[in-house]
Structure 1
Amino acid sequence: MAQTPVFDPQFRAELAELMRWRRDVRRFRTDPVPEDLLDSLFDLAQIAPSVGNSQPWRFLRVVSADKRAEIRRNFLACNAEALAAQSDERAAIYARLKLAGIDAAPVQLAVFCDHATEQGHGLGARTMPEMLDYSVVGMIAGLWLSARAAGLGLGWVSILDPAQVCAALDTPPSYKFIAFLCLGWPEEEHVDPELVRNGWQERTDFGRRIVNV
């Protein structure tokens, strides 16, 4: 039996600080990320809990200029549609937002959930198959914090057509697209989210999110 570690007040304060600094980074320097650092981040991400210990996450590292260009075209088309759907007042704010780092981020990762995985033997996912997807999201959260602790930034690009991403990357039918991640050294650092800085949406108190029943 392992001995329970003691996380002292200083560690807990530093953890809280790390979580506050876990920003969705969209502005990157083009400097490469050392491969050994990437390997260490992926090793930490693998520790994430998953339903039935299935570890259903699958990474495709997008390095081809042609593939990156396809992802960029996908984003630009979806972003234009999103802008057109905004009201006049919101459209002006939306147009100022930087919503992706795909032009500069040195590491770009498409993350999928393999719904055909045999690992885990279906434990915990038979009645709620979406638990496989949630497992991948939980892993991404751990990767995000680990990256920030190493001084890296990570951005989650959600303004994409999933079907087009899968077609561009020629993924197996069992792969469900979960996230497109940009990873690299931040061009600038902020403790507040870009959406708050640019007047899109303030954060609200946790008390508005919990109800006793």
Structure 2
Amino acid sequence: MALADKGVPEAEFAPAGAFSPQEREAVYRTIYARRDVRDEFLPEPLPDSTLERILQAAHHAPSVGLSQPWNFILIRDPAMKAAVHDVFTRCNGEAAQMFADERSASYRGLKLEGILKAPLNICVTCDRARGGPVVLGRTHQRDTDLYSTVCAIQNLWLAARAEGIGVGWVSIFEQEDLRPLLGIPPEIVIVAYLCVGFVDQLFTRPELEARQWAERLPLEPLIYEERWGDRR
């Protein structure tokens, strides 16, 4: 899709380091084409070289004070994935009961994970002690290390999309249930559990939008000028 179709204007000048129009469009295309993949995974394993590129992209994310607080646990063992899936199944049943009757029925009809089907699962964690007791940029906003880890996840996701690889973020679990399964120390925060693999199809728009669970909000009402609530 052309940039103009997404409201991305051509640059009025060429700042230092700017990408070419073709390169720029490829970046935006990757962003707009990113999808949360549920169970459309193929069984073929990721080539080691491709996985290395994706993890390097994640590792090149910005981080507060260059603390790089992330770790990546690669999970391929079917028995381990089955144990994680059991945790998800229990929590998913609890989640369904939190919605009103009609919404609960719709929720139960959604496929929300590909833990068993994806050839690779990745647990992304945050080591909040990395960088020492005082980290530049984190002196007053302590959670910037968690935000940094999420930036790494986004890098991984976009790099995977550019490689034709799907990623699904599974968030319906209790950290303390996963911790003993994966041997994660108590001081380490589990930020994301990802299902990763080649796919046989991708939705042209977010799946939850396609299934009429929710829809993308228009951008304009979300933008304020100078102060909260002041419109442009």
TM-score w.r.t. the length of structure 1 is 0.93
| Residue of structure 2 equivalent to 1:148 | 161
| Residue of structure 1 equivalent to 2:28 | 16
Structure 2: give runs of 5+ residues left out of the alignment.
Answer: 1-14, 228-232
| Residue of structure 1 equivalent to 2:124 | 111
Structure with higher RCO (Cα < 8 A, 6+ apart): 1
Q: Quick one: which amino acid aligns to residue 12 of structure 1?
A: R
Q: Measure the CA separation in 1 of the matches of 2:109 and 2:24.
A: 36
Select the structure of larger CA radius of gyration: 2
Map 1:33-44 to 2 at 5 A: 33-44=46-57
Q: Is the 8 A contact 1:55 1:119 kept in 2?
A: no
| Residue of structure 2 equivalent to 1:132 | 145
RMSD: 1.7
Q: Is the 8 A contact 1:45 1:139 kept in 2?
A: yes
Change (3 A) 1:19 1:204: same
| Residue of structure 1 equivalent to 2:61 | 48
| Alpha-carbon shift at residue 144 of structure 1 (Å) | 0.5
Q: How many residues align structurally? A: 211
Q: Is the 8 A contact 1:147 1:153 kept in 2?
A: yes
Q: Is the 8 A contact 1:93 1:199 kept in 2?
A: no
Structure 1: give runs of 5+ residues left out of the alignment.
Answer: none
| Residue of structure 1 equivalent to 2:10 | none
Q: Measure the CA separation in 2 of the matches of 1:31 and 1:172.
A: 32
Q: Measure the CA separation in 2 of the matches of 1:160 and 1:53.
A: 29
Q: Is the 8 A contact 2:78 2:116 kept in 1?
A: no
Q: Measure the CA separation in 2 of the matches of 1:5 and 1:120.
A: 35
TM-score w.r.t. the length of structure 2 is 0.86
Change (3 A) 1:21 1:119: farther
| Alpha-carbon shift at residue 206 of structure 1 (Å) | 1.3
Q: Do structure 1's residue 200 and structure 2's residue 227 form an aligned pair? A: no
| Alpha-carbon shift at residue 122 of structure 1 (Å) | 1.3
